[in-house]
């Protein structure tokens, strides 16, 4: 079978690329190694409840905002979106809570009441975030890539910006406190920090049915436009001939030819599929293989007893004696409490506890198969769950007695089910000191092999949606994409 485009991986980026190219009349085939579509946005069922793998809430979905523009184009606005409470995030530091409100003015007023001596500094902080959000689509214009990355906010430090702009150390921690949606390190680029945080300040939303409904909708649309979406179809080799890829070997038995190949997989995994290449030099392989990955996540998906915990319309970020910009592997000092299901009653039936977890913490069990990792692995997960509960008990003292069932996952789980390198939560680490090296573009040394997904420019729903545009632009042209978004 010969296709215009073969896409490896049905994560958000892969499905969006499939949608965009199929809509332009190209014959596409999306291949997924697992039984479920969606990658990091897939959902799963436990005891009648739907839990999400990595999707919890999105920002910037109000009409006129960036994600609304993109999701309107992808025909995703008809899903069951529900706006969160006005106070959508709560940051609790050593027992004291601070709230984030939707809308820049409301956000400012809420925090200015608690930090009146920082009013002007807050205005300066929000001015930069708003400027990033207002000009997010400017990045789709023609540019000199090297000059762009060396002079843009990708080449500036988020931590340095906060240190210089906000003089109150506590407020600095508060503003960074909802950033478990990224890996906070002193090397984090300012653009990553600003774009993600600004989108949620614009507006914050939950989705009935979980992230898998996004994957299903995109897959259905691709098939309706004549494309194919296949599960249990693992690409085991990419075959190169005469300076380009000519075919993908699926499940070691089926050859699929194509003019273009897009991979939503981690770049390290992608290179492993190209066994022999005249174009991919050893120095390039070493560079990609040596890139650092963000930390993974430990997640406790909790089923809550009926009527035990009242409905809460916001997420809670809880820190206990934590250095926000320095994560210590093995130490549980920060937990995101996510209530990601839209309101259906006056109490909740599920919530997630998420905390960073390094690969080293789970490496002893990494090679063991599912269900055979032993009692020590189970004991480790139980201890980690209890440590999370201990951190959040200052804001949810009733939690320990309210749990009906508990389902846990580690970076091993993430790698197993989503094929994410070492269970990395946010892909390759971006470093403002070397944006040209760590902020990857879609292009590879093989001219018809393109990258997409969270390992490139940006992670998150909005970031990946933008990256999909950059990837497809290499095939159909950026002018075509810009025009399509205008006429969505």
Taking only the tens of pLDDT, the chain with its 488 residues reads 799 999 999 999 999 999 999 999 999 999 999 898 888 888 888 888 888 888 889 999 999 999 999 999 999 999 999 999 999 999 999 999 999 999 999 999 999 999 999 999 999 999 999 999 998 887 776 555 555 666 688 999 999 999 999 999 999 999 999 888 889 999 999 999 999 999 999 999 999 888 999 999 999 999 999 999 999 999 999 999 999 999 999 999 999 999 999 999 999 999 999 988 889 999 999 999 999 999 999 999 999 999 899 888 899 999 998 899 988 998 999 999 998 777 677 888 889 999 999 999 999 998 888 878 888 999 999 999 999 999 999 899 999 999 999 999 999 988 888 788 888 999 999 999 988 888 889 999 999 999 999 998 888 999 999 999 999 999 999 989 988 888 76
Length of the chain (residues): 488
What's the CATH class of domain 2-46+210-291+430-486?
alpha beta
Query: 318 to each of 79, 334, 337, 353, 354, how far by Cα in Å?
Result: 31, 6, 8, 10, 10
Give strand pairing partners of 11: 38
Tokens of 140: 């789709």
Maximum distance among all alpha carbons in the chain? 67
Give burial (CB, 10 Å; 0-12/13-18/19+) of 167: exposed
Tokens of 478: 């950026």
Phi and psi torsions of 7, nearest 5° = -115, 125
Residues with Cβ < 8 Å from 206, sequence gap 6 or more?
Answer: 56, 57, 81, 82, 84, 340, 341, 342
Looking at residue 143, what is its pLDDT? 59
Looking at residue 483, what is its pLDDT? 87
Task: Go through 65-92 and write b for each residue having 16 or more CB atoms within 10 A of its CB, e for each that does not.
Answer: bbbbbbbebbebeeeebeebeebbbbbb
């Amino acid at each position: 079978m010969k296709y215009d485009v073969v896409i490896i991986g049905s994560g958000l980026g892969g499905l969006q690329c499939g949608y965009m190219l199929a809509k332009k009349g190209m014959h596409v085939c999306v291949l997924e190694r697992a039984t479920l579509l969606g990658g990091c946005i897939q959902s799963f069922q436990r005891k009648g409840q739907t839990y999400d793998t990595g999707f919890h809430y999105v920002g910037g979905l109000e009409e006129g905002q960036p994600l609304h523009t993109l999701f309107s184009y992808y025909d995703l606005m008809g899903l069951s979106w529900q706006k969160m409470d006005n106070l959508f995030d709560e940051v609790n530091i050593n027992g004291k809570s601070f709230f984030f409100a939707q809308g820049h003015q409301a956000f400012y007023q809420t925090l200015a009441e608690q930090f009146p001596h920082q009013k002007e500094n807050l205005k300066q902080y929000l001015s930069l975030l708003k400027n990033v959000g207002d000009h997010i689509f400017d990045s789709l214009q023609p540019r000199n890539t090297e000059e762009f990355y060396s002079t843009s906010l990708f080449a500036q430090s988020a931590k340095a910006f906060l240190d210089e702009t906000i003089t109150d150390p506590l407020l600095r921690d508060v503003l960074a406190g909802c950033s478990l949606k990224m890996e906070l390190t002193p090397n984090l680029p300012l653009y990553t920090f600003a774009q993600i945080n600004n989108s949620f300040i614009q507006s914050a939303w939950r989705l009935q049915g979980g992230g898998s409904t996004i994957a299903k909708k995109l897959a259905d649309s691709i098939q309706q436009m004549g494309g194919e979406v296949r599960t249990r179809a693992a690409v085991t080799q990419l075959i190169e001939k005469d300076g380009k890829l000519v075919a993908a070997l699926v499940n070691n038995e089926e050859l699929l030819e194509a003019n273009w190949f897009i991979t939503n997989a981690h770049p390290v995994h992608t290179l492993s599929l190209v066994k022999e290449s005249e174009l991919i030099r050893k120095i390039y392989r070493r560079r990609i293989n040596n890139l650092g990955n963000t930390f993974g996540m430990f997640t406790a998906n909790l089923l809550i007893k009926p009527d035990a915990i009242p409905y809460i319309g916001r997420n809670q970020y809880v820190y206990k004696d934590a250095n926000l910009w320095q994560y210590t592997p093995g130490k549980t000092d920060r937990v995101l409490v996510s209530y990601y299901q839209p309101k259906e009653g006056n109490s909740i039936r599920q919530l997630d506890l998420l905390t960073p977890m390094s690969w080293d913490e789970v490496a002893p069990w990494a090679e063991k198969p599912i269900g055979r990792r032993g009692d020590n692995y189970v004991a480790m997960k139980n201890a980690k769950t209890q440590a999370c509960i201990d951190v959040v008990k200052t804001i949810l003292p009733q939690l320990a007695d309210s749990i009906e069932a508990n389902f846990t996952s580690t970076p091993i789980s993430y790698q197993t089910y989503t094929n994410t390198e070492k269970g990395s939560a946010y892909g390759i680490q971006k470093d403002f000191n070397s944006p040209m090296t760590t902020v990857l573009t879609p292009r590879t040394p093989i001219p018809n092999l393109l990258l997409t997904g969270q390992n490139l420019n940006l992670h998150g729903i909005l970031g990946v949606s933008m990256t999909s545009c950059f990837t497809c632009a290499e095939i159909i042209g950026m002018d075509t994409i810009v025009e399509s978004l205008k006429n969505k």
